[in-house]
């Protein structure tokens, strides 16, 4: 399943990137985040690994992720190494004077054949709400610092 | 005189039969083989257990972060739900989701559970027969181990005692933690004892039928459960009501006092957690 939500933030890309590129700030704006811990010694960037869990349904879902793209002021992407198959991306683009368009994508696939497919379908609404709410909280966080 | 001799002879025969039956059952209990746990199998089953836990039991598992991130740990829970305990599978799902199926995780279960042919798949989940040797083997291998010291005594308590933690004074788990040098993490849960209406532990019935000697069964419980109505023994299981399951993992407890002192700490921690979770419930089953 792929879930995508977008938002316009009234701040320039530098201000948004400053928060998005610092994983230590994720717990302050990511909704339903139960765990966000560094898993290796690398600084934020390609190769940095984190343990990440979102509360989806009854239990924390996620696992070990690795940042695979860290393109200054543009894109930050990660893939899941353990847990459900997962890809995530936060994408920043200009949206006019002093504004930034932020896109948050999560693609995931549970194992287990037909049951995995059903679980994906059941979870998609909650994942959608989680990503949308995450962007709203990011907007509040960035604009309050501006 | 011949009458007394006859009685003695009959008693000896009964004793022989009990001994033979015990031997037969014990020989069928699989030896603990930690290699039977299959992470890929568990991973494939996670979606269906997640669906059951999220939609049917509306489960809520809190504070998984209190479990040490690595190394062996003894997870000690209060047990509910008869022979179909929803709390066990919800917690197992939470553990495997949170730490990944790669982290070794075993659960102790009654001999009858691990030796029943239809439940062979449980061994792939890491379920091993409940005895001190198996438990020690699992912890010494560096795994996390889930135990329910209350066992069949606690799991069949009457539903009106559903919020009471009762291990029947069993403290073997403290010695286990001490011997292996691992911390104890209490895991409190509520909701499981509302999956059926448990009426009586049936310890008198177990004694009457000598199941306590034959099968290590201290209880032959009596309950009202789906689809049977009156359910005696629960050996065939039952369909649990869609009761809301709430689980709270508690702070680790180091084994640094005598057995009784550590046991008291664990019981206080568990009962406190159960009381907190119970206070949040407005209705039975619904939660």
User: Of all helices (H) and strands (E), which one includes residue A132?
Assistant: helix A113-145
In order along its 287 residues, chain B shows pLDDT tens digits of 566 666 667 656 766 766 666 666 556 656 667 888 999 999 999 999 999 999 999 999 999 999 999 999 999 999 999 999 999 989 999 999 999 999 999 999 887 777 777 787 888 999 998 889 999 999 999 999 999 999 989 999 999 999 999 999 999 999 999 999 999 999 999 999 999 999 999 999 988 988 888 777 778 999 999 999 999 988 889 999 999 999 999 999 999 889 999 999 999 999 999 999 999 999 999 98
3-class secondary-structure state, position B132: helix
Residues of chain A with pLDDT under 70: none
Provide the ipTM: 0.88
CA distances from B54 to A74, B134, B160, B229, B242 (A): 36, 32, 26, 26, 11
**Alpha carbon distance A95, B62 (integer Å):** 40
Nearest CA of chain A to the CA of B62: how many Å? 8
Task: Please indicate whether, in this complex, the C-beta atoms of B60 and A58 are within 8 angstroms of each other.
Answer: yes
Task: Please indicate whether, in this complex, the C-beta atoms of B97 and A35 are within 8 angstroms of each other.
Answer: no
For residue B213, the model assigns a pLDDT of 80
Report whether B191 contacts B86 (CB < 8 A). yes
| Burial (CB count <10 Å: 0-12, 13-18, 19+), residue B159 | middle
Residues of chain B contacting A61 with CB distance shorter than 8 Å: 50, 97
**What residues pair up with A99 in beta bridges, in sequence order?**
none
By Cβ distance, the residue of A58, A82, A116 closest to B47 is: A116
Task: Please indicate whether, in this complex, the C-beta atoms of A59 and B45 are within 8 angstroms of each other.
Answer: no
Residues of chain B contacting A113 with CB distance shorter than 8 Å: 44
Residue from B44, B52, B59, B98 to probe the interface with A (highest A Cβ count within 10 Å): B98
């Amino acid at each position: 399943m792929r879930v995508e939500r977008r938002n316009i933030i009234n701040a320039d890309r530098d201000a948004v990137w400053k928060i998005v590129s610092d994983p230590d700030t994720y717990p302050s704006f990511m909704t339903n985040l139960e765990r966000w811990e560094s898993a290796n010694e690398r600084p934020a960037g390609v190769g940095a690994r984190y343990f990440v869990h979102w509360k989806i349904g009854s239990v924390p879902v996620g696992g070990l992720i690795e940042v695979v793209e860290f393109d200054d002021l543009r894109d930050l992407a990660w893939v899941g190494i353990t847990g459900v198959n997962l890809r995530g991306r936060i994408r920043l683009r200009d949206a006019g004077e002093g504004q930034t368009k932020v896109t948050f994508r999560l693609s995931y696939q549970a194992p287990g054949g037909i049951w995995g497919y059903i679980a994906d379908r059941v979870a998609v609404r909650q994942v959608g709400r989680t990503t949308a709410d995450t962007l709203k909280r990011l907007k509040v966080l960035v604009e309050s610092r501006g | 005189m011949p009458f007394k001799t006859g009685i003695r002879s009959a008693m000896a025969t009964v004793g022989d039969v009990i001994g033979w039956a015990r031997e037969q059952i014990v020989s069928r209990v699989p030896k603990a083989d930690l290699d039977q746990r299959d992470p890929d199998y568990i991973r494939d089953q996670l979606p269906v257990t997640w669906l059951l836990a999220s939609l049917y039991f509306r489960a809520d598992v809190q504070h998984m972060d209190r479990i040490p991130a690595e190394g062996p740990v003894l997870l000690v829970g209060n047990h509910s739900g008869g022979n179909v305990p929803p709390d066990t599978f919800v917690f197992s799902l939470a553990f495997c989701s949170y730490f990944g199926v790669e982290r070794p995780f075993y659960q102790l279960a009654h001999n009858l559970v691990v030796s029943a042919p239809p439940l062979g798949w449980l061994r792939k989940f890491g379920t091993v027969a409940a005895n001190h040797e198996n438990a020690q083997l699992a912890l010494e291998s560096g795994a996390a181990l889930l135990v329910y010291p209350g066992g069949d005594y606690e799991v069949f308590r009457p539903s009106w005692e559903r919020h009471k933690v009762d291990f029947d004074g069993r403290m073997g788990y403290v010695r286990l933690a001490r011997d292996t040098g691992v911390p104890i993490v209490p895991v409190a849960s509520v909701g499981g004892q509302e999956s059926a209406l448990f009426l009586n532990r049936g310890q008198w019935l177990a004694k009457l039928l000598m199941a306590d000697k034959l099968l290590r069964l201290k209880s032959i419980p009596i309950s009202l459960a789906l689809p049977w109505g009156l359910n005696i023994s629960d050996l065939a299981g039952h369909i649990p009501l869609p009761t809301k399951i709430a689980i709270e993992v508690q702070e680790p407890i180091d084994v640094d006092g005598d057995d009784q002192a550590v046991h008291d700490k664990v019981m206080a921690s568990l009962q406190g957690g159960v009381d907190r979770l119970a206070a949040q419930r407005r209705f039975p089953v619904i939660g």
